[in-house]
Every structure is written in C-alpha cells, then in structure tokens.
Chain A
C-alpha cells in the first residue's frame, strides 16, 4: 500500500514550515512510506473485539487542584532557547503571513 506520496510530504513540510529540496522530498516520501507500512501492520492484528483507544490503561478523570506552584525563572525557561532577547524567545520572522 503506497500510503504517502511525494505531494503529501511537500504539504506536510509546508505546514511544518520546513524547507525541503526535491531530493529530500523523494527520500522522505520513500522512508515515510516504509514507516507507515510498518505501523499499518498493527491494524491487521486489531480485530473487532479490540476497541480503538487513546490510552492503554482505563483511567478517567485525573485532575489537579487549582493551586499555583512556583514557575521557572525566565533564565531557566530561556536556557534552551537558540536565541533570546528582552527575556523573550526570539524566533525568525514568519514569512508571508499575518
């Protein structure tokens, strides 16, 4: 089953704001197809008596109290940021968008 096309990869790249060369798109389309194929095998073993679930353990209603706990300092929060300015995360301009 050819699950993912080169166009699909190009579309995902656009959504993810990642620029990709033609050869990268070709390469990824093949690679993702293999990955999806592997994942699709799981569906073969899922029979009608196994309901789809988003959680392996049947647990509901786990909530916390509405209580404030200390946050990170701005220095800690920004320590992993590639760029920063004025205690804020600095990101490249977002092209052609509002």
Chain B
C-alpha cells in the first residue's frame, strides 16, 4: 500500500536544504559591461568577456559586490574579510567559457540566519533557518532544444544558444541543513523562500520574479526514520519556480522517497526536475560530484577585501526589516495573527498594502485578496498576484462602496477581469453588470412582483415583514440579480406602508 503525505511524515523525518539563486538587478553584467536587460533579441548582449573569447579579461561589477554584501547583512551573515572567485569547470554549452565564475571555499558572506513564522496546529510559531553561505556567481545562457518530441534535451536534434543571460550577476543563498521541521517541512520551505523574497525586494537588489526566473529555488530533501538520528540520502529538485511549487515539491519528494524507503529501495543522490502540472519530480542527470567541477581560484580576478568601514556604511542603509514592517502593518490594519500569517505566506502582503494605499478599506482589501482572488487562483493553480492588479481590486472595492456594485456583482467583475475581459469598467460595460439603482426601474419591478403575488403583498401590508422576502426575491430575479437587495427592501416596504 502506498503512503500518502500524512502517513509518510508519521514514519519519516524530513530534512531540508534550500538553495536559492537570485539575479541581481544591476544594469550591466557581473564581469563585463553588457546590458542585463530582459527579453532582448538573441545574442545582442554579448562581448568577448561573456563569450569567453581568448584574451578577454573580466572585471567585477562593484555594484554587484555591494548588493551581495547587503543581502548577507540582511540575512545576519558575517562578511568575509577576504573572499575570492573560483572557476567551476563543466562542459555544457550554456556557458561559452566552459566554466562558470563562482565562489567556492571563500564565499563573501557566511553563517547567517533567517527567522520565519509558520502556522502549526498549536498556532503561529517562529522557526529559524540557518544560512550557510551567500556567494556571487554568474548566470548561464539560455538553451533552446530543437527537434525531438518534447522540447527537452533528451531526444533533441540540436540546441540553440542565446548568451544574453550568460554573465548576469547571480547570488546563491544556501541554507544549512534544516532539520526538526517534522510534518511542517513544506510550510517551512515556503515561508523561508517567501521571507527571503520579501527581504531581497525590500533591499531593492533584485526584481525577485520567480515566474520570470530572476529568483529560482532548488529543494534538497532527505528522509530518515523518525527517531533514528540518521541523515538520509538527499535528492535535489531543480526548476521550482513559484512559492506554491516550493511547498508542492517538498510534499512530492516526501511522498516519493517515503514510498521507496517503505519498499526497501534506496534513494539515489540525483538531480530531479519539478513538474509544474503534476507536482511530482522527474529524475534528471545524476549529479557530478564537487571534485568533478575542479574548482580553482580564478586567476583573472583579484580578491575582494571589503573594509569594515564600508560594511558598516552599508549596514546603516538597510531598510526596515520585512518582519518589522509586518508588525507595523498588522497594527495599522488591526489584523488577527492567523490572518496576517496567511497573508504573508500566501505572498499577498505587498498587493494588499498597495490596494490599501490606493484607497481601499483594509478589511475589504484583505478579504478580496485572501478570499475570492485566492479562490480563483487556486482553481487555476497560479499565484493570485498574477491574476489581477491591486489597482483593479481597489477599483472594484470603491465601486462597492459607492453602491455601483453589490458584492455578488463585484465577484462577477473580478471573474471577468481574471478571464481577460478587460478592466473592471470594461467588464461592467461588456457584461452589463451595473446595479439597478434607478428608482423608476426598481418600482416597475416591485409593482410587477406585487401584482403577481397579491396575497403576499397583503400580508406585508398587514405587518408581516418577513413575508416581504418572497417579493424581494421576485424583484431580484426580474432584475437579473443586479439590484441592491437592501434598496429593493427599503422601496418595497415603503410602498406597502411599512417603511419607517
């Protein structure tokens, strides 16, 4: 019998390791002056340095070093007084140099931590994720696999390489082994990546768009029988490109590995690829061992030796910590703990804040994002923030406040915006969703309802107010649900001599 997630975590203790790659938002590349602009025509952003042509000499982008130190400081790391670049040698066409310039045994930031909060059965609890290192490297080019059935490498006839991305500054943030999560491993992983993304965004060092690949996560996971005190063999799942996928990848690997172990099979140390559709992982190439990369100090670049005055200068510029900001916003909006944690872990804090800044009521802004928009996003299995903008949500909320939309109509408007029918105003016009607030039109419908149910109308006249429900229902039906029920009730009761 195969184990599901709950059964798996009753028998096995998961251990996590998370590696996050972040593209910095510098204007130029890590070691040359080519533009880092996203979406340029193929091979329009290359030069002898990033193509690895003979004789070309790299020079480090000072801004990239500054950004990396800022990241290290925000993650409570020590900044190394001496740090060097290293060549990571591998023969794969995504790097034209046949090596990636990275850092190996002398990374620029070490030994930090990041505190996150997770929702547990016993309420919201803090969890500390320790950071092993933050180091600088460069991104690879993009491959297009042509031929074959699937567009994957296997079975492709040939590959086409665009090196515009090769050499864009990349920062890798590696956690220490994250143990003791128990069944909350998926939540811890997601909360960590969410918090990290919020910190990076607050620092302004990256646009941290997981969907566009400027922030990417590799999830290492191993299982060991509970209480064994052992560390199992880990798999490394790549290609995890949304917060939701981080959570799903952990669940998928826990289930897969637990079933293998249960059947007495070994876990192979390997790279796996996350499948967005199924939430499962698929085996990739078996991993080259670190010694196969034959790292050695990069002879073309000089060491980075940041002086402590500069580090303190940078530390002084650190912005409000996301956790501090959350506490502030929670107080400003008077949000309960549990709901605040849901907002944060769903990655909705920014959009809610923006919606409120535009002028929406805090309670309504929260309930729309956490409610209807999240529900529609779940149905589509996408991030809510990709469906609709804060200004559109604010617009819908303001139309409810002004009485132009009922909650029910507003849900249809949101649905229409998400379906790509245009802005809220366009959806309202296209679908004809205006609240019928014109008294004349309502009175016509009320008169018709009374005419068709004279007995009911008589009972209301006689003081039986609850009986009015049937008449209000008839009016709502006649107006296609577009009347404001409270307004109909008011007009109807007044008409039947029961108004106050």
Size range of the interface on A? 35 or more
Most A CB contacts (10 A, CB to CB) among B41, B159, B296 go to B159
When distances are taken between beta carbons in the complex, the residues of chain B under 8 Å from A55 are 299, 302-303
Instruction: Give min CB distance, A69 to chain B, whole Å.
Output: 4
In this complex, what residue of B is CB-closest to A83? B158
Instruction: Give min CB distance, B32 to chain A, whole Å.
Output: 8
Q: A85-B160, A94-B153 given as contacts; is B285 within 8 A of A61 (CB)?
A: no
A86 to B142, CA, bound (A): 14
In this complex, what residue of B is CB-closest to A57? B302
Q: A54-B84, A67-B27 given as contacts; is B305 within 8 A of A89 (CB)?
A: no
In this complex, what residue of B is CB-closest to A95? B154
B242 adjacent to chain A (CB < 8 Å): no
When distances are taken between beta carbons in the complex, the residues of chain A under 8 Å from B48 are 72
Instruction: Give min CB distance, A38 to chain B, whole Å.
Output: 18
Q: Does A71 lie within 8 Å of B27, measured CB to CB? A: no
Interface string of B277-304 (1 = CB under 8 A from A): 0000001110010001000111101111
Instruction: Give min CB distance, A2 to chain B, whole Å.
Output: 19
For B43, give its contact among A69, A77, A92 (CB under 8 Å).
A77
Q: A60-B305, A63-B59, A66-B26 given as contacts; is B35 within 8 A of A71 (CB)?
A: yes
Q: Does A98 lie within 8 Å of B285, measured CB to CB? A: yes
Interface SS of A by simple majority:
loop
Contacts of B32-80 to chain A: CB distance below 8 A: 33-35, 41-48, 51, 53, 59-65
A62 to B51, CA, bound (A): 21
Contacts of B225-281 to chain A: CB distance below 8 A: 271, 273
Instruction: Give min CB distance, B150 to chain A, whole Å.
Output: 11
Q: Does B27 lie within 8 Å of A68, measured CB to CB? A: yes
Tally the A-B contacts, defined by beta carbons under 8 Å: 134
Of the 9-residue stretches B87-95, B364-372, B451-459, B475-483, which lies at the interface with chain A?
B87-95
Interface SS of B by simple majority:
loop
Q: Does A74 lie within 8 Å of B34, measured CB to CB? A: no
When distances are taken between beta carbons in the complex, the residues of chain A under 8 Å from B42 are 74, 86-88
Q: Does B288 lie within 8 Å of A15, measured CB to CB? A: yes
Residues of B within 8 A of A (CB): 26-28, 33-35, 41-48, 51, 53, 59-65, 84, 90-93, 96, 144-145, 147-148, 152-154, 156-163, 271, 273, 283-285, 288, 292, 296-299, 301-306
8 example contacts (A-B, Cβ-Cβ < 8 A) are as follows A17-B91, A63-B59, A67-B27, A69-B33, A72-B51, A87-B41, A88-B144, A89-B163
Residues of A within 8 A of B (CB): 15-17, 54-55, 59-69, 71-74, 77-78, 80, 85-94, 96-98
